[in-house]
Amino acid sequence: MRGPMVTEGKGPGSLYPESRVLIIMTGGTICMRDSVDGLVPMAGFLENAMAPRPSFNDNSPPVKIHAYKNGVKLALDSLRTPPSTYSRHIRYGILEFQPLLDSSSISSLGWTEIAMTIKENYHYFDGFVVLHGTDSLAYTASALSFMMSDLGKPVVLTGSQASIFALQSDAVDNLLGSLIIAGTFVIPEVCLFFHHTLFRGNRTTKVSASAFEAFDSPNCEPLAKVTSLGVDVNWSLVRRPTRIAEFQVTKYLDTAHVACLRIFPGIKPEMVDSVLRVPNLRGLILETFGMGNAPGGVDGSLTKVFRQAVERGIVIVNVSQCTNGFVSPLYASGTALGRAGVVFGHDLTTEAALTKLSYLLALPGLTYADITARMAHSLRGEMTEMTLPSFSHPAGTIDSAVGRLTAAGMLLTQAFCFSLPKHPLTLSLLLPTLPPSRFPSFHLR
């Protein structure tokens, strides 16, 4: 087994430590350049786009870093940033996909390639930045969040609305911010960074085709904001591992057997039924009005179509067409869908609902009941939990509780209590609401 790369310590010619980040370039507007045929992807991004810019290159002596792709060990050219606000360099290299992808044509195969590249290099880098086109960026961020379990390092997706070679562009800020976050903070989530803001990836949606503020997370506050003073991380929102487990990747999402249908006024039951009878269809994301409402149809004919599909084993998930809010059986039309077997998706985005359902359908051994139950509960922070765990002391006095402990249990309890002050990680898992300043070594590299 390949051991972890040691990235702490001073870099050559510097008094400051450096982290290592792998940039995975899949394509997108950020790496495009003008040609006689319009914008086209350009290879050699490190040399042509980043090396000439002082914010990405401190002109330190060249260093080769190693990465893996499809089992092949590669020696990548690297650059190093000047020291950040946190007195740290970020050394990085770029692994470019061949060919570079148009984000509008990405599929589950592209998601698998990204996820497996991260897995191959997981022990060699402190964090990962994925450069990606913006059209399907929210879908990819959502998909990767479900494909990767027990993630312990930051994976930051970003792109830009204008090419990095354009005079007026958001590319430099988006890329530099992603690099600093991935190389500085232990935020073990799949994130999306855009316009000085770090979002949880599976809560995002694209809200503008041209504005630099192109993404939003309407039902979840940002994980971090970049200001003139540095990066302000909302640590209370950051998800942390709750068990000791090896990082794993689910290699396949079953997007080929999932459809998405948007309800509109006057939609005919026959239209919906034709979609639900597509051969081998296993799931449907139903975008409904407001808080989850849909017309029942004359004599409840549309509701009957949904009920029949559920009886055939098709998982139907109800999400709102509204940007903000959630679906709920508040109105009779929404209640009728629930009684027909439609799953309420709460405040899932369409992107998260589709990729989550595709992920669950790809897992072996899950029954229909298992899938519907998991769709209604948060797996990766993709939906707001309607109920939170609560803890209470056992009934009776503390003496009665101690009296029920066995001798072995007493020894274990004492050992655990005495070990607490020595292990800030244990404390942070038990007391996640303590200020980050109490455990700076846990949050900052």
CATH number at residue 153: 3.40.50.1170
Whether 206 is in a domain gets the answer: yes
For residues 272 and 211, state if they share a domain: no
Residues 69 and 214 in one domain: yes
Q: What is the pLDDT of residue 41?
A: 82
342 and 267 belong to one structural domain? yes
Q: Are 49 and 96 in contact (CB under 8 A)?
A: no
Q: How far apart are CA 44 and CA 143, in angstroms?
A: 28
Give how far Cα 4 sits from Cα of 92, 154, 304, 310, 394, Å: 16, 16, 56, 48, 43
pLDDT, residue 38, reads 79
Query: How many angstroms separate the CA atoms of 239 and 347, rounded?
Result: 18
| Domain end point (choices 230, 249, 268) | 249
In 3D space, the residue among 249, 196, 204 whose CA is nearest the CA of residue 225 turns out to be: 196
Instruction: Please check whether residue 78 lies inside any domain of the structure.
Output: yes
pLDDT in the model for residue 101: 80
Same domain, 35 and 179: yes
How far from the centroid of its chain's Cα atoms is residue 193's Cα? Answer: 11
Q: Report pTM.
A: 0.84
The verdict on 287 and 419 lying in the same domain is: no
Q: Is residue 354 part of a domain?
A: yes
Q: What pLDDT, on the 0 to 100 scale, is given for residue 424?
A: 42
Structural domain span for residue 325: 255-375
**219 with 134, same domain?**
yes
Q: What is the CATH number of the domain that holds 261?
A: 3.40.50.40
Indicate if 314 and 366 belong to the same structural domain.
yes
The pLDDT score that the predictor gives to residue 403 is 63
Quick count: other Cβ atoms within 10 Å of Cβ 313? 12
Residue 58's SS3 state is coil
Could you list the beta-strand ranges (E) of 136-250.
148-149, 155-158, 190-194, 197-200, 205-206, 215-216, 224-227, 230-233, 248-249
Q: What does the buried/exposed string (b/e) look like for 162-171 if buried means 16 or more CB atoms within 10 Å of the residue's CB? A: bbbbbeebbb
Residue-level pLDDT at 242: 84
Whether 1 is in a domain gets the answer no
Q: Say how many domains are in the chain.
A: 3
> What is the helix (H) or strand (E) element at residue 413, kind and residue range?
helix 407-419
Domain boundary among 342, 375, 408: 375
Say what the pLDDT of residue 12 is: 60
Contacts of 52 by beta carbon, 8 Å cutoff, 6+ apart: none
In a domain, 367, yes or no: yes
pLDDT score recorded for residue 11: 57
CB atoms < 10 A from the CB of 145, how many?
Answer: 28
Identify whether residues 241 and 354 lie together within a single domain: no
pLDDT, position 433 = 41
Q: Left if phi > 0, otherwise alpha if psi is -120 to 50, otherwise beta: which for 313?
A: left
Same domain, 405 and 437: yes
Give me the residues paired with residue 10 across strands: 17
Q: What is the pLDDT of residue 394?
A: 56
Q: How many whole angstroms separate alpha carbon 436 and alpha carbon 70?
A: 38
| Residue 13 belongs to a domain | no
Q: Is residue 43 part of a domain?
A: yes
Last residue of a domain, one of 186, 219, 249: 249
Residue segments in the chain with a per-residue pLDDT below the cut of 50: 1-9, 391, 416, 418-443
pLDDT, residue 399, reads 61
Do 305 and 159 lie in a common domain? no
Name the nearest CA neighbour of 258 among 373, 145, 370, 143. Answer: 143
Same domain? 58 vs 188: yes
Instruction: Kindly state whether residue 9 falls inside one of the protein's structural domains.
Output: no
Which are the catalytic amino acids? 29
**Sign for the pseudo-dihedral over CA of 424, 425, 428, 434:** positive
DSSP 3-state assignment of 304? helix
User: Which amino acid does the sequence have at 195?
Assistant: H
Residues 235 and 100 in one domain: yes
